[in-house]
Chain A
Amino acid sequence: MSELRLVRLIEPDGSASGDDRYALPAPGELLEHYRALVRGRRFNEQASALVRQGRLAVYPSSHGQEACQVAAAAVLRDGDWLFPTYRDSVAAVERGVDPVEVMLLLSGDWHCGYDPMRHHVAPQATPLATQLPHAVGVAHAARLKGEDTVVLALCGDGATSEGDFHEALNFAAVFRAPVVFLVQNNKYAISVPLARQSVASSLAAKGEGYGMPSALVDGNDVAALTAVLGEAVRRAAGGDGPTLMEADTYRMDAHTNADDASRYRDDAEVTEWARRDPLVRLRAHLRAAGVLDDEEERAIAESAEQTAAYLRTGLSADSEPDPAELFAHVYAGPAPHLAAQAELLAAELTAEVHS
């Protein structure tokens, strides 16, 4: 097969690429995406700062990948599902989940701080690729019920090496499930570069092996991402099955704040990718198109600042989760052995109070 041709609609300098396959979204739509990008970037910066302040245990930032985050949320319709990983907090927030609730996982409060059923955003998965078969299950269920729900499943380049990636894509293709798989190829799985994960011509090319259409997209171009993802969502909703998409992007920060990226990559590489930053590119484009002026930029920055402040305030309060809740959700019904253990802990806590 021939190598897939990268889809890019806006060049790193902001000029239109003139792609012959996809039309550039309207300026008004792109301005909305720009707002979300700025909000996402600010969210990433704020969350990283909260780690330094000891408010979060760790934060896997999507700095540099905000276009993927924003596009993934933007192309879904009401009722559609998003299956995020631990690096996809911004996408979850853009789908409407409360930012503080998204971060509860990393603040040590509870494993999943939001209600997945309310926004149709699955819990952020930390074991790689394991959420992908779930996404296929939700999609297959929707199809059996005759609903046109679409599921967008996120993973990274490292996850494509996992067995569950293979099983999920194969199941989705065989069942013609309405799933869009978006692989954010950010070039590193913690420290291990892409070349150690795969020698395929591209990760998108793997779609051929499953018999599903695939696309390789500039992952720092929100216009290209929304155009191609939007098409895949429409195809899935129309009963034409799954799509594999690879977004060519870059993890600008280390894996998490606990990681030291200088041990495995050069600054020059990071500098080169900074030139292709998703915000810089869209800003230049919108400026040139005359739809983004200083006043608008100030308003956008202010709005992003409000999100950051909300996150800061929400996570600055010292909260002590209720220890009794440790036993509350393990089983729906009464569990005699847990009741005895809950009593033991309660007695210990009472003794602590009185000592």
Chain B
Amino acid sequence: MTATKLTMAQALNTALRDAMTADESVVVFGEDVGPLGGVFRVTDGLTETFGEQRCFDTPLAESGIAGLAIGMAMNGFRPVIEMQFDAFAYPAFEQITSHLAKMANRTRGRVRLPVVVRVPYAGGIGGVEHHCDSSEAYYAHTPGLTVVAPATNADAYGLLRAAIEHPDPVIFLEPKRHYFTREEVDTATPVPPIGQAVVRREGRDATLVAYGPSVPVALAAAELAATEGRDLGVVDLRSIVPFDEETVLAQVRRTGRAVVVAEAQGFASVASEIAARIGERCFHHLEAPVRRVTGFDIPYPPPKLERHHLPSPDRILDAVDALQWDET
């Protein structure tokens, strides 16, 4: 039996277990990932099952954790490290950008680093400050990194397995507001590979492009639109780098209209890059300029105000309404 209802945290835990069983070189480490099982319980029971050589707590130092992973990868391991929260990963930023991302290139491919950096990511959980950042643009802007953001529990399992097997470093962004949502996961059915987007909903009138925590929001918006007689499609990127331009552009060409939805602040963002690419490559198919629905360009708000900041189905539909429908 492989299909079962799992929370996203359980799906990720299963992926780690299966990867550690399949490959002895897979090791898991970070802060509180040992006996506690991680603050979100993603590493629950791994130390017990695999021993403390395979899943262990480190001193509390993110740069050291990332640096240790680089060295262990140089010596035959496939480390999966946990950054406890998105904004707590910043001390590791130098190790990630200057070494993890660049090592293969600076050594002409002689040293490849199969490291997965798991990042509990983004908001919507009423977290205190520094616990809800959408930090994907920093990583996506860094050549050498592969950046993955699952939106479903099946993808959480499948993409994490793929990330661990990936030859290059992967930043794995886990939408923490979905850690405890339950969905059917069939671990025996492979998911599409990293780099391939998936059309979550076909639609004739306009295309919503989203990833990670924004995919369910986009789907909810499409549901609402359907009740109003507008047929919206939803593309789930699944990986930000590589960006599956082909799938996105094909959908947008079909519908002629696009809204990019992302929780991160919009200025100089992944959403901006996607909108620019659609504009450059689909100009003659577009009935209206591409719009973006993103977080405001502010530091992540306090919990009582976060609902105003996060893209909502209503805000997405307002953007869809602004796609110059009257002029066609």
Segment 70-97 of B: residues with Cβ below 8 Å from A: 70-77, 91, 94-95
A254 CB → nearest B CB, Å: 25
Assess whether A134 is in contact with B106, with CB atoms less than 8 Å apart: no
For residue B199, CB closer than 8 A to chain A, the reply is: no
* Chain A residues whose C-beta falls within 8 Å of the C-beta of B107 in the assembled complex: 111-112, 115-116, 123, 329
* Chain A residues whose C-beta falls within 8 Å of the C-beta of B167 in the assembled complex: 332-333
Assess whether A127 is in contact with B144, with CB atoms less than 8 Å apart: no
A sample of 8 inter-chain contacts (CB < 8 A) reads A115-B107, A135-B71, A140-B71, A141-B76, A142-B75, A171-B61, A329-B105, A329-B108
Point out the residue from A115, A134, A170 that lies within 8 Å of B110, measured CB to CB: A115
Point out the residue from B63, B109, B242 that lies within 8 Å of A337, measured CB to CB: B242
For residue A6, CB closer than 8 A to chain B, the reply is: no
* Chain A residues whose C-beta falls within 8 Å of the C-beta of B243 in the assembled complex: 337
Assess whether A163 is in contact with B67, with CB atoms less than 8 Å apart: no
Alpha-carbon distance A130/B311, docked complex (angstroms): 38
Point out the residue from A111, A149, A167 that lies within 8 Å of B106, measured CB to CB: A111
For residue B2, CB closer than 8 A to chain A, the reply is: no
A sample of 7 more A-B contacts (CB under 8 A), given A325-B108, A331-B144, A332-B168, is A110-B108, A111-B102, A117-B74, A137-B75, A174-B59, A328-B109, A332-B104
Point out the residue from A111, A137, A167, A325 that lies within 8 Å of B73, measured CB to CB: A137
Assess whether B109 is in contact with A332, with CB atoms less than 8 Å apart: yes
A39 CB → nearest B CB, Å: 26
A237 CB → nearest B CB, Å: 15
Alpha-carbon distance A330/B241, docked complex (angstroms): 12
B interface, CB within 8 angstroms of A: 27, 53, 58-59, 61, 63-64, 66-77, 91, 94-95, 98-99, 102-112, 143-144, 146, 167-168, 195, 242-243, 245-246
For residue A5, CB closer than 8 A to chain B, the reply is: no
Alpha-carbon distance A193/B54, docked complex (angstroms): 43
Task: Check A170/B64 contact, CB under 8 A, given A110-B108, A111-B106, A325-B108.
Answer: yes
Residue on A with the closest CB to B77? Answer: A141
Task: Check A138/B66 contact, CB under 8 A, given A117-B110, A171-B58, A331-B168.
Answer: no
* Chain B residues whose C-beta falls within 8 Å of the C-beta of A134 in the assembled complex: 67, 70-71, 74, 99
Segment 130-150 of A: residues with Cβ below 8 Å from B: 130, 132-142, 144-145, 149
Assess whether B110 is in contact with A137, with CB atoms less than 8 Å apart: no
* Chain A residues whose C-beta falls within 8 Å of the C-beta of B94 in the assembled complex: 127, 130, 164
B131 CB → nearest A CB, Å: 22
B145 CB → nearest A CB, Å: 9
Alpha-carbon distance A129/B151, docked complex (angstroms): 37
A149 CB → nearest B CB, Å: 8
Task: Check A133/B111 contact, CB under 8 A, given A122-B74, A139-B71, A337-B242.
Answer: no
B90 CB → nearest A CB, Å: 12
Alpha-carbon distance A111/B144, docked complex (angstroms): 15
Alpha-carbon distance A173/B324, docked complex (angstroms): 64
Residue on B with the closest CB to A118? Answer: B110
Assess whether B63 is in contact with A163, with CB atoms less than 8 Å apart: yes
Alpha-carbon distance A7/B167, docked complex (angstroms): 46
Task: Check A112/B68 contact, CB under 8 A, given A133-B95, A163-B91.
Answer: no
Pairs A-B, 7 closest by C-beta atoms: A137-B71, A133-B67, A167-B64, A141-B75, A111-B106, A332-B167, A134-B71
Alpha-carbon distance A122/B70, docked complex (angstroms): 11
Task: Check A336/B242 contact, CB under 8 A, given A130-B99, A328-B109, A329-B108.
Answer: yes
Alpha-carbon distance A47/B58, docked complex (angstroms): 42
For residue A222, CB closer than 8 A to chain B, the reply is: no
Alpha-carbon distance A134/B95, docked complex (angstroms): 9
Task: Check A140/B68 contact, CB under 8 A, given A130-B95, A337-B242.
Answer: yes
Point out the residue from A117, A137, A174, A336 that lies within 8 Å of B245, measured CB to CB: A336
Assess whether A130 is in contact with B67, with CB atoms less than 8 Å apart: yes
A218 CB → nearest B CB, Å: 30
* Chain B residues whose C-beta falls within 8 Å of the C-beta of A142 in the assembled complex: 75
* Chain B residues whose C-beta falls within 8 Å of the C-beta of A138 in the assembled complex: 71-72, 74-75
For residue A16, CB closer than 8 A to chain B, the reply is: no
* Chain B residues whose C-beta falls within 8 Å of the C-beta of A331 in the assembled complex: 104, 144, 146, 168
Alpha-carbon distance A171/B143, docked complex (angstroms): 28
Alpha-carbon distance A220/B75, docked complex (angstroms): 33
For residue A180, CB closer than 8 A to chain B, the reply is: no
Alpha-carbon distance A328/B91, docked complex (angstroms): 29
B182 CB → nearest A CB, Å: 33
* Chain A residues whose C-beta falls within 8 Å of the C-beta of B98 in the assembled complex: 127, 130
A241 CB → nearest B CB, Å: 15
* Chain A residues whose C-beta falls within 8 Å of the C-beta of B27 in the assembled complex: 144
For residue A288, CB closer than 8 A to chain B, the reply is: no
Most buried by A among B75, B111, B143: B75
* Chain A residues whose C-beta falls within 8 Å of the C-beta of B67 in the assembled complex: 130, 132-134, 136-137, 164, 167-168
